[in-house]
Structure 1
Amino acid sequence: MERQMEPWWKKSVVYQIYPRSFMDSNGDGIGDIQGIISKLDYLEKLGIDVIWLSPVYDSPNDDNGYDIRNYRTIMDEFGTMEDMEQLIEEAKNRGIRIVMDLVVNHSSDEHEWFVESRSSKNSKYRDYYIWRDGKDGQPPNNWGSVFSGSAWEKDELTNSYYLHLFSKKQPDLNWEHEPLRGDVYQLMTYWLEKGIGGFRMDVINFISKALDLPDGTIHPNNLYGDGSPYFINGPKIHQYLREMNEKVLSKYDVVTVGEMPGATTDDAQIYTNPYNKEVNMVFTFEHMDLDSGPGGKWNVQPLKLVDLKRNFEKWQLALHKVGWNSLYWNNHDQPRVVSRFGNDGEYRELSAKMLAICLHMLQGTPYIYQGEELGMTNVVFPLLEDYRDIETLNMYKEKMEQGISHEDIMSGIYAKGRDNARTPMQWTSEGGFTTGTPWIRMNPNTDEINVEQSINDSTSIFYTYQKLIQLRKQHDIITHGSFQLLFADHPSLFVYKRQSADEEWLVVTNFSDQREQLEWKDCDVTSKSREIIISNYDTLNTNENTVEIRPYEAFVVAFKKGIEN
């Protein structure tokens, strides 16, 4: 009975749509809501349960929709509120819920709250944002913005500075101010009443700041101070999330995932423990930083698989029977995983399937980013002018000013730039995304990587994802079993066991193009009792005692407990 009462999202798989790049219905080169509606049958075929929709709200589009001008209207480029209501209903008819982005650490500087706030120090909206006087003609402190430059912008009208942890067109909201929180809760209720299935909360652990706003440490190669200790997991974050749950979320059967850069497993145990009534799961970033060098994100280093394994082990063990994990390789802010941790050349299909199997056999809720199920790859655009992402363009300017060469900067962009994830979805060999000119160039490999080809090939990456989604619904061991890492120090193999009361599953994945060998006895597995659940090669290359693991091979073997060796 207890299992039946468990939240629906524990067996769900989420599919993230970046609307601008998913499907264009009217030929203007920009994806839209009607485009999404036209592809719901495709998503139903894949088998997903939830669509996480990146922002479709009215926005000046300084940061691709994460700068919201009006939380209650739809951006003209994407359609109308009637289109949005149709999407919610059409998805519901297919058993799919829509999760919206909740972006309330900041708004657009064109939001009416900010327009009023900057108009006068006496405005009733003044305290909706974080305003401070300067110090000797300088900003209030030395914090740097996530998007480069100072985190403060001077507004001449009132001769004051406002805080913007991201773009200067994204002023931070002041969560200390109770009327602001009340307005946020009202807009959340507005969308929940329309029937959405929950929220993905953008950088939600940034909303509480240390009000004395102390200077941050200036790290080597940086011009500005690191303010993150004073706004990541800030002093009142748990108070605010519990209030949000009490006032709004507790009244609906929905899912919440908090995007929380810098959150540790200890933090996540508090955030996701159901007794605390905060969020259902968090997006952690630790595994996304493992290929970053001392210089940060753009200082790209080869992934050490041992580090990745240890990181997954830490999160699997920490949240088992305490909270809940989110599982992802890709999103709109990350490069394509097959290019990043796999092999997007000779072994593209095998390594994409391997990465899928590795992730989807873990405990948590998996997130698939559009095109991941096709094995879409990173892109190398010939010109800087082909890039659209504000983070990329700001970084390029800053590093050029520091004397770093164009070639070195571009190599970082090719590996880690956010536009790798934002090239249009590849529907057909000709592209199929738009009849017009796409807002950002297509990846030129659409002729070989596309939906049309994938769904007509029963051995494609698409059908591996489809089967993984089905397995999660059919087998409780995936959602409830314990996790045990094997061969922790092996440089190429990621091997782990999932265990329940009556069975064990062995998950074997090879992150290299080298052949490896395992002894069944070293895995506590008997060859006599095994059943292959899923694999990315047609057969296992095995005998009674050993199994040879081929390049980028992945398989899952189930065996019943209590069977004699």
Structure 2
Amino acid sequence: MVCMKRWWKEAVVYQIYPRSFKDSNGDGIGDLQGIIEKLDYLKKLGIGVVWLSPVYQSPNDDNGYDISDYRAIMKEFGTEKDFEELLQGMHQRGIKLVMDLVVNHTSDEHKWFIESRSSKDNQFRDYYIWRNGKDGNPPNNWGSFFSGSAWKYDKATDQYYFHLFSTKQPDLNWENKKVRSEVYDMMKFWFDKGIDGFRMDVINLISKVPGLPDGEKGENDLYGNGFPFTANGPRIHEFLQEMNREVLSKYDIMTVGEAPGVDPKTAELYVNSDRNELNMIFQFELMDIDSGEHGKWDIKPWKLTTFKEIMFKWYDTLKGKGWNSLFLNNHDQPRMVSRFGNDKEYRVESAKLLATFLHTWQGTPYIYQGEEIGMTNVHFNDISEYKDIESINMYKEMSALGVPKETLMKGIYAKGRDNARTPIQWNSSENAGFTDGKPWINVNPNYKEINVERALADKSSVFYYYQKLIQLRKQYEVIVYGDINMLYKDDESIFAYTRNLNNERLLVILNFFDSKVEFNLPEDIEYKATELLISNYQVEEHDLHSIRLRPYEARVYLLK
């Protein structure tokens, strides 16, 4: 099957987490006018799409992922007029805007839920999932993703409502056709305003297994595992095909679904172009590479062979059928240079290396704000400095079980979501130039060394390296559409591959760690001449047959 050309395959996406991007009015919270101020910066970087994390009206229990009005802009972020100015400013600069769609759940302050909880016979009752308890206990043993039970007792009607996330994020009942119709109308509202797509939050969780049976529970587990009954449920593809038919197919837009617990074969069902569902999904197999048997907070060392195996498996399964999304961090993940690189001695080199991989693999690359200057994880001293509900709940629950503070903080330093949510470091002035007020979350103390102003003044900075990678992608179709052939499959230091499209050939050589290693070109790769397209070190020799690679060295050659 020939790979169809599409604008969203050729674009580079930049994710903005608005609360932490730029504050324009001194209240310590990033806002829409702050983003407008920085549009020329984004244009200079060269990105083609912005994915904007939620800016809808919300009580902010989960930083905007708990929506109380899907058609209103959060007052802290600005007004509808600000939003329209932002959209126009992006389009004038050739940048498309993708919004966040959060429809697995709403806020408990949404008018639907306020009505729903008021009585059992209210017309909105069935917009959410309500059940009777069992002998004074919740309807089943499932745990929430944010700790505690997935059920909350509501005294007013003597029933429990279901929430996969926070107690203030009740799950919508997608079995109800009226709910689906409300969602589709809301999506049309934003498309008719002129937005260019949706990133769909945990979209593969909207269909639950009927009966909601108890989940498996280990002897040390507080709750049963409800995930197999909520992820990739029995009607998920029916719902997405209906959404495509009713809404998505009517616009030239981009869709990417966040899909935890999806393997490549399952992913094909979501993104195969013949099935009319989504363009891409975010998969988390790579994001779990350093998770132990007890999950996210149980950190284990990761191996490059596993990393390569995961990436090639996803490429190979979807090749010619669907499209991959490429990311190494986002608003829910730690900073990639701290996780997969070396944020101390080789911060700049390893940031460039990881970028080289992301932008030369097949798929659409996603840059998370601050990644383009090599921002790092943060180590706050105490849990009181953290804002993320997931980290705070985990800390409380595990502290109560006697787990030492040092152990818990070590997990948060490595994996906590606030690593990605500290403000963008614009310059070396107070609060990193993010705000004139008190920032909603503390700035990473390394902002005087790592900031946009310094990056723009240094032609060898991470920023200009990203700019060049993005430019190369526009220049060479092989980077977007070329087939991948893996080299050094079993090597624990070198990640190397070729890309091939018609008469264009690329060779990508990456040394993923801080030791010096030897790269020897496989004998079956022949060439008459080479051109070095990009590298993160000064390169003198161009004999590819044997290269002594320096720590975190990256090179990309055009083979002729």
Which TM class, normalised by the smaller chain length? over 0.9
Instruction: Say yes or no: does 1:535 pair with 2:557.
Output: no
Q: Which residue of 1 is the match for residue 517 of structure 2? A: 516
Q: Which residue of 1 is the match for residue 88 of structure 2? A: 89
Secondary structure of the residue that 1:52 maps to in structure 2?
strand
Question: Closer, same or farther in 2 for the Cα pair 1:522/1:138, shift >3 Å?
Answer: farther
Secondary structure of the residue that 2:384 maps to in structure 1?
helix
Q: Which residue of 2 is the match for residue 251 of structure 1? A: 250
Q: Over residues 370-429 of structure 1, what are the superposed CA-to-partner deviations in whole Å (9 max), with x where a residue is unaligned?
A: 000000000000121100000000000111122111100000000000000000000001
Q: Over residues 482-519 of structure 1, what are the superposed CA-to-partner deviations in whole Å (9 max), with x where a residue is unaligned?
A: 11111111111111111122132111111111000122
Secondary structure of the residue that 1:398 maps to in structure 2?
helix
Following the alignment from structure 2 to structure 1, what is the Cα–Cα distance between the partners of residues 359 and 480? 10
Tell me the CA shift for residue 174 of structure 1.
0.2
Following the alignment from structure 1 to structure 2, what is the Cα–Cα distance between the partners of residues 249 and 555? 39
Secondary structure of the residue that 2:40 maps to in structure 1?
helix
Following the alignment from structure 1 to structure 2, what is the Cα–Cα distance between the partners of residues 471 and 322? 25
Q: Which residue of 2 is the match for residue 104 of structure 1? A: 103
Q: Quick check: 1:540–1:547 contact (8 Å CA) kept in 2?
A: no
Aligned pairs for 1:343-354 (under 5 A) are 343-354=342-353
Q: Over residues 138-192 of structure 1, what are the superposed CA-to-partner deviations in whole Å (9 max), with x where a residue is unaligned?
A: 1110000000000000000000011000000000000000001100001101111
Unaligned runs of 5+ in 1: 561-565
Tell me the CA shift for residue 359 of structure 1.
1.2
Secondary structure of the residue that 1:119 maps to in structure 2?
coil
Q: Which residue of 2 is the match for residue 181 of structure 1? A: 180
Aligned pairs for 1:222-371 (under 5 A) are 222-371=221-370
Instruction: Say yes or no: does 1:481 pair with 2:482.
Output: yes
Which deviates the most, 537-546 or 265-274?
537-546
Following the alignment from structure 2 to structure 1, what is the Cα–Cα distance between the partners of residues 193 and 507? 43
TM-score, scaled to structure 1 = 0.97
Q: Quick check: 1:541–1:548 contact (8 Å CA) kept in 2?
A: no
Tell me the CA shift for residue 219 of structure 1.
3.3
Following the alignment from structure 1 to structure 2, what is the Cα–Cα distance between the partners of residues 295 and 21? 31
Question: Closer, same or farther in 2 for the Cα pair 1:167/1:486, shift >3 Å?
Answer: same
Q: Quick check: 1:387–1:440 contact (8 Å CA) kept in 2?
A: yes
Following the alignment from structure 2 to structure 1, what is the Cα–Cα distance between the partners of residues 30 and 422? 11
Following the alignment from structure 1 to structure 2, what is the Cα–Cα distance between the partners of residues 559 and 295? 46
RMSD: 1.4
Secondary structure of the residue that 2:344 maps to in structure 1?
coil
Following the alignment from structure 1 to structure 2, what is the Cα–Cα distance between the partners of residues 359 and 119? 49
One-letter amino acid of the counterpart of residue 161, structure 1: Y
Q: Over residues 340-391 of structure 1, what are the superposed CA-to-partner deviations in whole Å (9 max), with x where a residue is unaligned?
A: 0100011000000000001110111100000000000000001211000000
Aligned pairs for 1:127-206 (under 5 A) are 127-206=126-205
Following the alignment from structure 2 to structure 1, what is the Cα–Cα distance between the partners of residues 523 and 227? 44
Tell me the CA shift for residue 521 of structure 1.
3.6
Q: Quick check: 1:219–1:226 contact (8 Å CA) kept in 2?
A: no
One-letter amino acid of the counterpart of residue 545, structure 2: N
Q: Which residue of 2 is the match for residue 548 of structure 1? A: 548
Q: Which residue of 1 is the match for residue 6 of structure 2? A: 7
Aligned pairs, number: 558
Question: Closer, same or farther in 2 for the Cα pair 1:386/1:523, shift >3 Å?
Answer: farther
TM-score, scaled to structure 2 = 0.98
Unaligned runs of 5+ in 2: none
Instruction: Say yes or no: does 1:447 pair with 2:443.
Output: no
Q: Quick check: 1:109–1:169 contact (8 Å CA) kept in 2?
A: yes
Which deviates the most, 267-276 or 440-449?
267-276
One-letter amino acid of the counterpart of residue 69, structure 1: S
Q: Which residue of 1 is the match for residue 496 of structure 2? A: 495
Q: Quick check: 2:530–2:542 contact (8 Å CA) kept in 1?
A: no
Q: Which residue of 2 is the match for residue 117 of structure 1? A: 116
Tell me the CA shift for residue 58 of structure 1.
0.5
One-letter amino acid of the counterpart of residue 162, structure 1: Y
One-letter amino acid of the counterpart of residue 555, structure 1: R
Question: Closer, same or farther in 2 for the Cα pair 1:535/1:544, shift >3 Å?
Answer: closer
Following the alignment from structure 1 to structure 2, what is the Cα–Cα distance between the partners of residues 437 and 68? 25
Secondary structure of the residue that 1:235 maps to in structure 2?
coil
Which deviates the most, 324-333 or 496-505?
496-505
Report percent identity of matched pairs.
59
Secondary structure of the residue that 1:9 maps to in structure 2?
helix
Question: Moved runs in structure 1, 4+ residues, more than 3 A?
Answer: 2-5, 540-545
